[in-house]
A = this chain, B = another copy of it.
Amino acid sequence: MKRIVVFPGSFDPITLGHVSIVKRAIPLFDKIIISIGINSEKKNMFALEKRILWIEQIFKSEPKIVVESYSGLTIDFCKKKEANYILRGLRTSADFEFERGIGQVNKKLAEDIETIFLLAEPQYTPISSSIIRDVIRNGGDASSMIPKEVVL
């Protein structure tokens, strides 16, 4: 059976931390679906098309990686894509507490989908999309935290 994994998020925008997690996961999986969740209640900074384009450019030479968007529950999207794994990065214990709740409920709702966690690398631990948006919104320079393909 092929090992297909969904890496869900808003990627608003994708960060160097996200890129690191995906790259390190490549050897473990046969296919990685970077999955942009569409949440109509959340206002995004960057248009969906832009977020997709950036990710495609970053990973264009990596045949195992595709980008898709979805709405609804992540586990329903996994089933549709025949993915048995969800990939998540862990930076802080606040992250962990949040992820544990989501991960254990997902397991309850879909017993055969397993969430796999990788640690953020130390230099990326303080970086999050929300901090990056805050820097951009206030006219700061976020270029040290995002891939060069993310052209604001």
**Is the C-beta of A12 less than 8 angstroms from some C-beta in chain B?**
no
Contact residues in B for A24 (Cβ distance below 8 Å): 114
**Is the C-beta of A125 less than 8 angstroms from some C-beta in chain B?**
yes
A81 to B3, CA, bound (A): 23
Q: How many Å from the CB of A84 to the closest CB on chain B?
A: 7
**How many residues does chain A have at the interface if contact means C-beta atoms less than 8 Å apart?**
51
**Which chain A residues numbered 118 to 142 have a C-beta less than 8 Å away from chain B?**
118-119, 121-128, 131, 135, 138-141
**Is the C-beta of A1 less than 8 angstroms from some C-beta in chain B?**
yes
Which A residues lie at the B interface, using CB under 8 A?
1, 3, 24, 27-28, 71-73, 75-76, 84-85, 90, 92-94, 96-105, 107-109, 114-119, 121-128, 131, 135, 138-141, 144-145
List 11 contacting pairs A-B, 8 Å CB cutoff, sorted by A. Answer: A28-B116, A92-B101, A93-B97, A99-B119, A103-B119, A103-B126, A104-B126, A107-B119, A108-B144, A116-B117, A117-B117
